[in-house]
Amino acid sequence: MQLSKTSSFLISPGKNRDDPPEVHGTFLPATGRLHRMLRDVFDRSDQECQLPIRFVMSPEGKKQNPARDLMIAFIEAPSMPNGRAIAERLRDTTTGKSHLGLLFVLLGTEAKSWKLLLSRFPADQGVIAESKKGTLEVEFIERVFMKNAATYKAALYKGTSFDSHLWSGAAIDKQLNMTTHQAANYWIREFLASDFETNSKQGTKRFAVALREASHSTQDPSTKHELFAASMLVTGFASQAVSINDMLDRFSLSPGARGAVLSKLAYEDLAKDIFVIDLEEFISHAALASIELHNGGLLLAPPDRFDEVFTMETIDPIARHYRFTTEGKIVDERVRGRR
Amino acid sequence: MTATDTLVSSYEARFSLALRPIADRLEIYINDLLADRVDDRRRVDIVVARAKTPLSFLEKASRTEGGHPKYVDPLNQILDQVGARIVAFYLSDVDPLARLIKENIPPIEEQNIIPDSPNEFGYEGKHFILFLPKDIVTPELPKTHCPTFFELQVKTLFQHAWAQADHDLAYKPPGSLTLEHKRKVAFTAAQAWGADFLFNELRSELAPPDAT
């Protein structure tokens, strides 16, 4: 789809300020190097925006969202006031930590279809060097806006129907994996009034059940062991934004164990979905961590507390001979068949 | 071919290729969600999901408002092409179930449907428009026919029973309802409301503390 309307707004931080700075904007001509650069950004956004997001319902339960309303208004009438309203929302959610930014609101329309890209280039400092008549002029400049900076953000919406299609989109947020979520939260949660398409409970359950089912179905003891170990490690990722693919990479699972988990998803692309790990949800679905001994002994404990519950001593590492000890009060006893 | 013929044929294709399989999977998905929470499941009578039939879709798509068509793009604007209902035993079960659903399936709308006036009795229930879970909208389904949302209703046994009978008898009457018909329909709604209210009271008085 052709880029048909290009507007740009300078965004200063304005969150929690009684007197937020005014937002200035302009429509850009459909010619020249800047237009060509933005056209490339617009065309590549389908490949680059890979993080599925969705608008959230109003607190009153109405089918309404403040960021979505502004986007609908702009698509219907791509005027300077409607573009500025989007930019002012970004200003009002931007803190001093995020510094200055340049927002491009790029719109393409074709018959009933539309494609809207919001793209925030963060400001940086730089040095400009120019050869002039055999000499070199070097100058420090502020307010250089760079797309390849680590804090570049974008959001893409496209479709033919506001009712069906303008409830979800795709984003880029390179700060997503930062441990301090504040910086990342501001683009998706605050400015876009959105969340990950897959919510915390959905994604966590999907992952926990896939791990559990994979460990139940595999006959290979080492794969089973890998999967139990992975279950225990998940506790270290509580409240972090991850995908199943990320997790499998971080656990360095063998191809067999990885394949076993992926085969338990409804389809493999679900492993790309980003969600926030909900530890309570994970534990409620994950298999109990267990170790079976050759003498018939079976040790079971919640994966997040297995190492606290059982102390393991190595007797003979080559023969894989270990001693496990634990102590506690009996709260349930299954004695049927005991001689 | 008229615009209505085109709409019907498009919806019929959608109904058989996408909506029916999605509804079947959705019923399993919701049952599975409730099964994870034994406390919530034990007082749920049934979970049903259905794809809106082509006839029912056409009837809704043809509605007018102020003399103009209510839906200009019915395939995208009618959001209950897939619908599900959770039927709970008691009124006090509805809110915990609604919370469970909202936490697990992102909503775009939540409505408590009650009659406009305190002097009226009629249709009641909690309705949601929710994103269809990605786990059930698998890639082999034709993407253009897969809706984004579904409607979920959480009702008590009596709200469900009344709504079913009302839908059958009164919602689409062959002729217009007489005053007496309307009073009878309102009377049955009042009876259902009273039964719900009393059963809920009885339950809170008689149920063992761990079952509340």
In this complex, the residue of A61, A198, A273 whose CB is nearest that of residue B111 is A61
pTM for this structure? 0.84
Which regions of chain A does DSSP assign to beta strands (E)? 5-11, 24-27, 51-55, 101-110, 113-132, 135-145, 153-159, 168-173, 194-196, 241-243, 274-276, 289-292, 298-301, 311-316, 321-325
User: Chain A partners of B129 at a C-beta cutoff of 8 Å?
Assistant: 63
How are beta strands B149-156 and B82-88 bridged, if at all? parallel
pLDDT of residue B27 exceeding 50, the answer is yes
Count, residues in chain B = 212
Task: Give pLDDT tens digits for B104-127.
Answer: 999 999 998 888 777 778 778 899
A332, pLDDT greater than 60: no
Higher-pLDDT residue of B210 and A13 is A13
How confident is the model at residue A255, as a pLDDT? 95
When pLDDT is cut at 50, 70 and 90, the band that residue A177 belongs to is low
| pLDDT of the residue at B136 | 96
With a cut of 60, say whether residue B52 has pLDDT above it.
yes
Q: How far is B9 from chain A (nearest CA, A)?
A: 20
Lowest mean pLDDT segment, chosen from A188-197, A294-303, B103-112:
A294-303
For A200, which residue in chain B has the nearest alpha carbon?
B104
User: Is B57's pLDDT higher than 80?
Assistant: yes
Binding-site residues on chain A for chain B (CB distance < 8 A): 54-57, 61-63, 160-161, 163-165, 167-168, 195, 197-199, 201-202, 205-206, 265-267, 269-270, 273, 284-285
Query: How many C-alpha atoms does B102 have within 13 Å on its Cβ side?
Result: 19
Tokens, residue A209: 């059940």
DSSP state of A252: T
- CB-CB under 8 Å, B104 with A201: yes
Closest B-chain CA to A61:
B110
| Closest residue of chain A to B72, computed from CA coordinates | A161
Give, rounded to a whole angstrom, the gap between the first and last alpha carbons of chain B. 58
Taking Cα atoms as reference points, which of A115, A103, A94, A96 lies closest to residue A46?
A115
Structural domain boundaries in chain B:
3-211
B144 reaches A (C-beta below 8 A) = no
Would the pLDDT of A129 be above 60?
yes
Is B107 in Cβ contact with A57 (below 8 Å)? yes
Half-sphere exposure of B166 (CA within 13 A, CB side): 20
pLDDT band at B40 (very low <50, low <70, confident <90, very high): low
- On average, the pLDDT of chain B sits at 88
Write the class of the CATH domain B3-211.
alpha beta
**Cβ neighbours of A202 in B, within 8 Å:** 104-105, 133, 135
With CA atoms as reference, the chain B residue closest to A53 would be B106
Point out which residues pair with A299 in neighbouring strands: A291
